[in-house]
Amino acid sequence: MNLKNTKFGTISDINGNFSFSASKGKYSLLFTYIGYKTIKQEIKLSQDITLNISFTQSETDLEEVEVSTTKTDENVKSTQMGVVQLEMSEIKKIPAFMGEVDVLKTIQLLPGIKNAGDGNTGFYVRGGGPDQNLILLDGANIYNASHLLGFFSVFNGDAVKSVDLYKGNMPAQYGGRLSSVLDISLKEGDDKAFHVDGGIGVIASRLTIQGPLIKNKAAFIISARRTYLDALVKPYIDNSDFKGTSYFFYDLNAKLNYTINNKNRLFLSGYYGRDKFKFVDAEGGFNADIPWGNAAATLRWNHIFSPKLFSNMSLIFTNYDFSFGAAQQDFDLIIKSGITDYGFKYDLNYYPNSRHNVKVGLNYIFHTFVPTTVSAQQGSTVFDFGKKIKLYSHDVGVYVSDDWEITQKLQMNIGLRFTNFTQIGPFTRYKKDNFGVINDTVNYNTNDIVANYNGLEPRLSARYSLTKKLSLKASYSRNFQYIHLATISSVSLPTDVWMPSTEIIKPQESNQYALGIFRNFKENIFETSIEVYYKTMSNQIEYAEGSQPSDNIYDNPDNAFTYGKGWAYGAEFFIKKNRGKLTGWIGYTLSWTWRQFDQINYGQKFLAKYDRRHDVSIVLMYDASKKWNFGMVWIYGSGNRGTLPNGFFLYEGSLSNDYGLRNSYQFIPYHRLDLNVTFTPDRTKKLEKRKRTLINQYIEQGKDTSNIQVTKSWMKNFSNSFTLSLFNVYNRYNPYFIYLTREGDFNNGSLKVGAKQVSLFPILPSLTWNFKF
């Protein structure tokens, strides 16, 4: 919101609330939101007033888009560093893999954020692992944000309203992770009119319906998506070695909002998504069923105490589970893992005056962890793998922060967060002797304290304005992370296991320091920034050599890990063009990421598997006309790291690998070019063509053509577009993994060893039809 023709303005919080102080008088208020029409409202200010503003989406006219996407200098004026705000109207113009618009793929194009390569939506922020990113959907934790083993994310772009990413000094209201926060908000539904959006693509289709339940008071939105990979590839699979294989995924988003009165509003949102893989071998009598997915729900009450004090109270449920079931003849095997959360959150925003924005809040989560558990049965015989393991814990956070404008040049955001994490019973601790043999057990009853940790997390960021368009920023933050993702793979998989902090697993801790310079040019058309950072991390977790997720039979799962430390540092360069026919950005990151474990790599430090020295992204979008829009993405990254054998030896008659130092091998660089073109038919010409057709019909039938009326109602609210995308335009064979081949005999000296690279995607075209009415 801006006071027209003045330097005064403010931005709302994620819930749309804002407060602003000004002296008495008449003002013109301008309300802007990307992708929506700008609203101008005249007010006469003589006392505190409350305004309810409802935005309507922009039409496709270029002039309206130009107005609605006008950027302010908030990136220069705010105290926050490493913050990126993306709108779906912007994301949908970027070339997408197989035509599926993807939030996670888009944020990986930003400096400081690295992708894990083709086939993986996991992302790494400033040296952190994929589990160190807090991913929120309307306030609910999403623990596995990928479909199709990482090819797509779980976020349906048609249901998403906004995307806020904090990759540096996260505000005090967020906690529980070391590296970043990705806060995604769902659309709330239109309480004035019904709308239908959808799309039909190469591998999936989607449909979104929204509208009023009670006009101007209550609204809903429902958005669904499903892939039809199982139907498309079935004819080919049935004639291959993979006969009997089936896979598909689906997800559903829904949200209700109800305005009780001017001071109270309720929101109920939910998400449910599943991946389902199945294999049936009728001849061999074997079948496997592997489902996994997320479920989340949030009930939020927004209350306005006064024009200066707002509150949000939320009840939150989250579940992620993975299951592997296999059966052959009369033998059945089931492996399960997952995590379930029940949470409560209360936040207060207080604006005592125009120089302060105070936030206070409480966050509580009750976690139930299910590490890998195994059960098996053959006929009436049940195999004993011990008790089903469940780990319970309380997770509490309390915070306070103040965004304080000390002078017009100096502004600071000061925050403090206190956290407590407690593992409770029931729980059985298996004690081992020096030879790793269990010789004792300790039993904890329900609600007995097993382990308890506290953490104090200061957050500080400051901005000093050298000019109206140039500012310097600095920040420091400490973060604790009490839950951990244990993985044995180089990429995130559904089999990865979430674990709480226990008496053996200590909380992760990070300290991050950052400096930045921010400069805008040409009336904020161009944004530029340079940020440097240094980050330390302690109590990093890895599986010990030779350990597996299923090793917790009559054992504690936390006995399988080893612990170490990490540190990362680098510089991020960013330039973005916000307005005009040509928009987009260029980002470059120079960085180093290190790890050191006493029990890995002989205790020597090593570069992390997601270390990438150079990372470049060029994203361009060109609006040639009302009909034609073009998009381009080019990315380059230094090769990922891995561990390969540097020799072989005979052990008990078998040839074994002699592995080199951890992550000492670097893959070839990754680079790729993606293009897309979107064609939007002109609706006016369709109306004119229809009218001409009717006139010709009337003339042929001898009717009076003066009575012809072609109404616009059926066409006015309908629009559609066709998007052709090309993924990996120059057919680059980027490495996914490398495996070794052997030919000949070691004993007679004829052994030949080779290495072969596996790449996932050649050039891939896709066509998507999108519609809206």
Output the pLDDT for position 516.
95
- Alpha-carbon span 625 to 622, nearest angstrom: 9
Output phi, psi for 149, to 5 deg: 55, 30
b/e per residue 267-305 (b: at least 16 CB within 10 A): bbbbbbbbbebbbeeeeeeeebbbbbbbbbbbbbebebe
More confident residue, 459 or 696: 459
More confident residue, 595 or 73: 595
More confident residue, 281 or 605: 605
Output the pLDDT for position 352.
92
Q: Is the pLDDT of residue 662 over 80?
A: yes
Output the pLDDT for position 755.
76
Q: Is the pLDDT of residue 709 over 80?
A: no
Output the pLDDT for position 548.
59
Output the pLDDT for position 70.
38
Residue 544 Cα distances to 479, 547, 559, 660, angstroms: 25, 5, 9, 17
Give whichever of 94-108, 200-214, 651-665, 686-700 has the largest mean pLDDT: 200-214
Amino acid type, 287 = N
Output the pLDDT for position 91.
85
Helix, strand or coil, per DSSP, at residue 414: strand
Helices (H), 380-532: none
More confident residue, 129 or 349: 349
Q: Is the pLDDT of residue 58 over 60?
A: no
User: Given pLDDT bands bounded at 50, 70 and 90, which one contains residue 609?
Assistant: confident
Residue pLDDT, tens place only, 392-430? 999 999 999 999 999 999 999 999 999 999 999 999 888
Output phi, psi for 353, to 5 deg: -160, -175
- Alpha-carbon span 382 to 379, nearest angstrom: 8
Sheet holding 2-3, edge to edge: 2-3, 25-31, 39-45
More confident residue, 682 or 234: 682
Range with lowest mean pLDDT among 77-91, 409-423, 474-488? 77-91
Residue pLDDT, tens place only, 336-366? 889 999 999 999 999 998 899 999 999 999 9
More confident residue, 709 or 124: 124
Output the pLDDT for position 734.
86
Output the pLDDT for position 553.
62
Q: Is the pLDDT of residue 543 over 50?
A: yes
- Alpha-carbon span 331 to 355, nearest angstrom: 69
Nearest Cα to Cα of residue 48 among 260, 351, 419, 325: 351
Q: What does pTM read for this prediction?
A: 0.85
Output the pLDDT for position 414.
96
Task: Provide, rounded to the nearest whole percent, the portion of the chain with pLDDT above 70.
Answer: 81
Q: Is the pLDDT of residue 68 over 50?
A: no
Q: What is the mean pLDDT of residues 596-607?
A: 90
Output the pLDDT for position 20.
62
Range with lowest mean pLDDT among 381-385, 645-649, 659-663? 381-385
CA–chain centroid gap for 20, Å, is 32
Query: What domains are defined for the chain?
Result: 1-70 (no CATH), 180-675 (2.40.170.20), 687-717 (no CATH)
Output the pLDDT for position 14.
57
Nearest Cα to Cα of residue 635 among 597, 684, 585: 585
For residue 635, what are its two tokens? Answer: 């990315």
Q: Is the pLDDT of residue 714 over 50?
A: no
Q: Is the pLDDT of residue 745 over 80?
A: no
Q: DSSP states of 470-502 as a string?
A: EEEEEEEEEEEE-EEEE-SSSS--TT-EEEE--
For residue 313, what are its two tokens? Answer: 């109270």
What mean pLDDT is reported for the chain?
83
Output the pLDDT for position 120.
64
Output the pLDDT for position 60.
40
- Alpha-carbon span 41 to 49, nearest angstrom: 13
Q: What is the mean pLDDT of residues 112-117?
A: 79
Residue 103 Cα distances to 176, 190, 484, 586, 627, angstroms: 22, 22, 24, 18, 25
Output the pLDDT for position 64.
32
Residue pLDDT, tens place only, 483-511? 998 776 554 556 678 889 999 999 999 99
- Alpha-carbon span 14 to 394, nearest angstrom: 27
CA–chain centroid gap for 600, Å, is 31
- Alpha-carbon span 477 to 482, nearest angstrom: 17
Residue pLDDT, tens place only, 280-306? 877 767 788 888 899 999 999 999 999
- Alpha-carbon span 157 to 293, nearest angstrom: 18
